[in-house]
């Protein structure tokens, strides 16, 4: 793994994705699965709507 940030990691940090994932990962398994499914749906809707941030 590289010590240098990638554009994906920079974009993820900028829009708060990484902190959200860290919070989700600390939850019990059942809650974590529901939270990840919700996040997946949210990201998919964002991409499909064309509102995804551009780099």
Instruction: Return the pLDDT at 50.
Output: 82
Tokens of 43: 């990201």
Instruction: Return the pLDDT at 1.
Output: 46
Residue ranges covered by each domain of the chain: 7-49
Pairwise CA distance, residues 21 & 32, whole Å: 10
Average pLDDT, the chain: 80
pTM: 0.60
Give the model's confidence band at 3: pLDDT under 50 very low, under 70 low, under 90 confident, else very high: low
pLDDT digits (tens, 9 = 90+) for 30-52: 899 999 999 999 999 988 988 55
Count of residues in the chain: 55
């Amino acid at each position: 793994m590289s010590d240098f940030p990638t554009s994906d990691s920079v974009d993820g940090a900028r829009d708060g994705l990484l902190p959200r994932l860290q919070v989700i990962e600390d939850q019990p398994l059942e809650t974590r699965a529901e939270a990840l499914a919700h996040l997946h749906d949210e990201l998919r809707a964002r991409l499909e709507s064309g509102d995804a941030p551009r780099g």
